[in-house]
Structure 1
Amino acid sequence: MTKGRLEAFSDGVLAIIITIMVLELRIPEGENFSDLKPLAFKFLSYLFSFIYIGIYWNNHHHLFQAVKHVNGKVLWANLHLLFWLSILPFATSWLGENHFTKNPAALYGFILLMCALAFNILQKFCLDLEGKDSVIAKALQSTLKEKLSALIYVSGIVLSFFLPLIAVGMYYVAAIFWVIPDLRIEKNLK
């Protein structure tokens, strides 16, 4: 099975997710810059989620540069990832609307954790399909970033019930690891 439809569908879903998130930013009633102040938390949550969607889009693109074809398991794993990413606009809105309080911060971290786990499952199924001598197998030998990110998400979820602002800050520390696209695949493609 070719991978083109999977990539096109995924790109479309991610574009819709970003569109849904930006539509949650309501225009303020007034014309002064001070009228934007109540939107600060909503804008920050949108900005952070936009970065996360961008990270997943970039790494998805890099992953499928190394994959030659897909099968049913890869298709379902990709849908699993898109499911969790599609919930991100809800968590983003709830987090921003409630000014990064404990329950929204915990849910946001949980969804980030599930997105990370779903991406790891997708990588595993791609690796299984491509084989042990493939570009993707060579690229994904080290999983330190994945493990460290998961640890940060779990720690942030627990911490969100006590110090939610610090927990949200931790989620974005994890994002810093991934802002630069996963170069492991790019290096092995050369």
Structure 2
Amino acid sequence: MKPERLAAFTDGVIAIIITIMVLELPTPHGADLASLKPVLPLLAAYLLAFVNVGIYWSNHHHMLQAAKKVNGAVLWANNALLFSLSLVPFLIRWIGEEGVHALPVAAYGVVLILAAFCYYLLERALIAAEGEESRVKEAVGAKQKEWVSLIGYATATGLAFVSPYIAVAIYVAVTAMWLIPDRRFEFWR
């Protein structure tokens, strides 16, 4: 299979994930600014989740541009990544219905950890499929941002039971770190 086909499939699934997330947003009851107040926490959660899913999509897109070969292990690693990202709408709905509380916020962290791990598995599967001369291997590098992200997610997941707002602040900080463009795959275009 060619990487382009896998990229197209992933694009479709991520589009569905984002669509489901936006459909979970309630319509404010009223036509004034005060009517937005009850939905602001959910809008904030949606924004954070949208940006996180977008970051995964963007990095996935760049990584597959560098890839030349896809095999069964790559397909399953990609499916694992998509599974973890497909849990995001459920968690956004949970946070939206219950508010910013420890368990839903911690569960969001667990899903972020799962997605990061699955993305790592996808990188490894692509490298294994292409061998030592893999352009993906050459581009991946030291993975400093990935380790900082995992430490941040794990810390925030635990802190969610102390203060869910501190946990959310850490999730936002890690997300902001990823908004700085990652140039590792840029040279393969």
Common fold by TM > 0.5: yes
Q: Give me the whole-angstrom Cα distance separating, in 2, the residues matched to 1:64 and 1:131.
A: 15
Structure 1 residues not aligned, in runs of 5+? none
Partners of 1:177 and 1:183 lie apart in 2 by 13
CA contact (8 A) 1:58 1:181 kept: no
2:110 is matched with 110
Aligned to 2:64: 64
Counterparts of 1:92 and 1:28, CA distance in 2: 17
> Is structure 2 residue 5 aligned with structure 1 residue 5?
yes
Corresponding position: 1:82 with 2:82: yes
Specify the code of the residue in structure 2 equivalent to 1:151.
I
Percent of matched pairs sharing the same residue: 44
Alignment of 1:149-168 (within 5 A): 149-168=149-168
Task: Give the TM-score, by structure 1 length.
Answer: 0.95
Q: Displacement, 1:49?
A: 0.4
For residue 30 of structure 2, give the secondary structure of its aligned residue in structure 1. Answer: coil
Instruction: Give deviations 1:144-174, integer Å, cap 9, x for gaps.
Output: 1111100111100110000110101101111
Instruction: Give the conservation status (yes or no) of the 8 Å contact 1:62–1:182.
Output: no
Query: How far apart are the structure 2 equivalents of 1:142 and 1:122?
Result: 16
Question: Aligned pairs, how many?
Answer: 189
Structure 1 position 30, deviation (Å): 1.1
AA partner of residue 39 (structure 2): L
Partners of 1:13 and 1:82 within 8 A in 2: yes
What are the ranges of 5 or more consecutive residues in structure 2 without an aligned counterpart? none
User: C-alpha distance in 2, partners of 1:110/1:182?
Assistant: 24
**Structure 2 counterpart of 1:170:** 170
Aligned to 1:49: 49
Q: Distance in 1 between matches of 2:58 and 2:105?
A: 25
Taking structure 2 as the reference length, the TM-score comes to 0.96
CA contact (8 A) 1:88 1:108 kept: yes
Shift of 1:32: 1.2
What is the rounded CA distance, in whole Å, between the counterparts of 1:81 and 1:91 in structure 2?
Answer: 16
RMSD value, Cα = 1.2
